[in-house]
Amino acid sequence: MPRFAVTNPLPEPALELLREAGELRDALAGADAVLTLLSDRVDDAFLDAVGPQLRCVANVAVGFDNVDLAAAARRGVVVTNTPGVLDDATADLALALLLAAVRRLGEGERLVRSGAPWRWGMDFMLGSDLRGKRLGIVGLGNIGARVAERARAFGMAIAYHNRHESPAAAALGAERLELDELLAGCDVVSLHCPLTEETRHLIGAREMALMKPTATLVNTARGPIVDEAALARALAAGEIAAAALDVYEHEPVVEPALLGLENVVLSPHLGSATVETRTAMAELAARNAIAVARGEQPLTPVPL
């Protein structure tokens, strides 16, 4: 009978799948498959603690930068992730953050809650329209394409930067640009690329200096893609107009200089945080773990 373990509480439907397929253990040690979260560091020490019988690490996330793939490969451990099921929820959140930033909703809510006096006026807390503006997507994969679909409904033009042509680009009318050209020419830059050594601090002081002073930066991908200290300096100096972040470089710690700025919207990694999406993610991870434990091919393996 396969032995399964989870590092953190998961939605009950996923746990029920594991119970039906084998034994759901309280301890990681001795498990044939382990379901992990992006907050778990899956490295040599973790894999050794589970034991040599481990066959699968099922990461309940699209990203897998928390998993040492080389360490897993050395042990013959299959790593899986959960692409697809969270695309719409994350895209919704990206648009929510964008709207909050360009319409100054965070600033406005803080004003109302503070009890400070305010009065409607023609020049009171003016934001920006989205219609007619250009959205630059860094990483036009599944989530980036969903963001582009939503942005087109707001009347935005789409540009993107990928290493290769995106198959979604033609249907979206999206123009492929080099990164520097995209940064300089777009009104909003939204990040949807994976975190790798090449994308760590992809957006730093030099890149933000290329952006328009009226531009907004949105990050719902991974925190370390942005140099947060440089972002705080750029926002404070007016090099860019606003930013909206759902992920952080040293999560859950946020760069202190960002906390005092009015022109940044901050949310606590809520990209996939809907009941339906988190349940679907956990169920997909469970099905991956069950398949590997049975000697079958997983639904969504990560190439090692």
On whether both 23 and 92 belong to a single domain, the answer is no
Residue 303 — pLDDT band, cuts 50, 70, 90?
confident
Query: What is the predicted pLDDT for the residue at 283?
Result: 98
Residue 197 — pLDDT band, cuts 50, 70, 90?
very high
Q: Find where tokens 């034994």 sit.
A: 23
- Please indicate, yes or no, if residue 240 is contained in any of the structural domains: yes
Structure tokens at 244: 């909206």
Phi/psi for 188 (5° steps) reads -135, 135
On whether both 133 and 22 belong to a single domain, the answer is no
Mean predicted confidence (pLDDT) in 213-221: 98
Query: What is the predicted pLDDT for the residue at 304?
Result: 77
Expressed as residue numbers, the domain containing 216 is 87-266
On whether both 100 and 79 belong to a single domain, the answer is no
pLDDT in tens, 53-86: 999 999 999 999 999 999 999 999 999 999 999 9
Instruction: Supply the CATH number for residue 110's domain.
Output: 3.40.50.720
Query: What is the predicted pLDDT for the residue at 227?
Result: 98
On whether both 233 and 195 belong to a single domain, the answer is yes
- Please indicate, yes or no, if residue 303 is contained in any of the structural domains: no
Distance of CA 64 to the CA centre of its chain: 11
3-state secondary structure 90-105: HHHHHHHHHHHHHCCH
Mean predicted confidence (pLDDT) in 236-258: 98
What percent of the chain lies above the pLDDT cut of 90? 99
Q: Is the pLDDT assigned to residue 246 strictly greater than 80?
A: yes
Residue 21 — pLDDT band, cuts 50, 70, 90?
very high
- Please indicate, yes or no, if residue 193 is contained in any of the structural domains: yes
- pTM summary value: 0.94
Rounded CA separation 116/258 (Å): 22
Q: Give bridge partners of residue 157 from the DSSP assignment.
A: 134
Rounded CA separation 120/267 (Å): 27
Q: What b/e sequence results for 55-78 when a residue is b if at least 16 CB atoms lie within 10 Å of its CB, and e otherwise?
A: bbbbbbbbbbbbbbbebbeeeebb
Q: Find where tokens 């050594």 sit.
A: 197
Q: Is the pLDDT assigned to residue 40 strictly greater than 80?
A: yes
Cβ–Cβ under 8 Å, residues 200 and 225: yes
On whether both 281 and 255 belong to a single domain, the answer is no
On whether both 174 and 60 belong to a single domain, the answer is no
- Please indicate, yes or no, if residue 146 is contained in any of the structural domains: yes
Mean pLDDT of the chain: 97
Cβ–Cβ under 8 Å, residues 201 and 229: no
On whether both 174 and 210 belong to a single domain, the answer is yes
- Please indicate, yes or no, if residue 232 is contained in any of the structural domains: yes
Q: Give bridge partners of residue 161 from the DSSP assignment.
A: 138
Rounded CA separation 71/162 (Å): 28
Peptide linkage before 252 cis (omega within 30 of 0): yes
On whether both 172 and 261 belong to a single domain, the answer is yes
Residues 6+ apart with CB under 8 A from 26: 5
On whether both 245 and 182 belong to a single domain, the answer is yes
Query: What is the predicted pLDDT for the residue at 236?
Result: 98
pLDDT in tens, 1-10: 999 999 999 9
- Please indicate, yes or no, if residue 24 is contained in any of the structural domains: yes
DSSP state of 13: H
Q: Which residues are catalytic?
A: 222, 251, 269
On whether both 109 and 179 belong to a single domain, the answer is yes
pLDDT in tens, 162-182: 999 999 999 999 999 999 999
- Please indicate, yes or no, if residue 304 is contained in any of the structural domains: no
Q: Is the pLDDT assigned to residue 280 strictly greater than 90?
A: yes
- Please indicate, yes or no, if residue 190 is contained in any of the structural domains: yes
Residue (of 55, 49, 50) closest to 75 by Cα position: 55
On whether both 33 and 45 belong to a single domain, the answer is yes
Cβ–Cβ under 8 Å, residues 33 and 56: yes
On whether both 47 and 177 belong to a single domain, the answer is no
User: What's the domain count of the chain?
Assistant: 2
Instruction: Provide the terminal-to-terminal Cα distance of the chain, rounded to the nearest Å.
Output: 26
pLDDT in tens, 110-162: 999 999 999 999 999 999 999 999 999 999 999 999 999 999 999 999 999 99
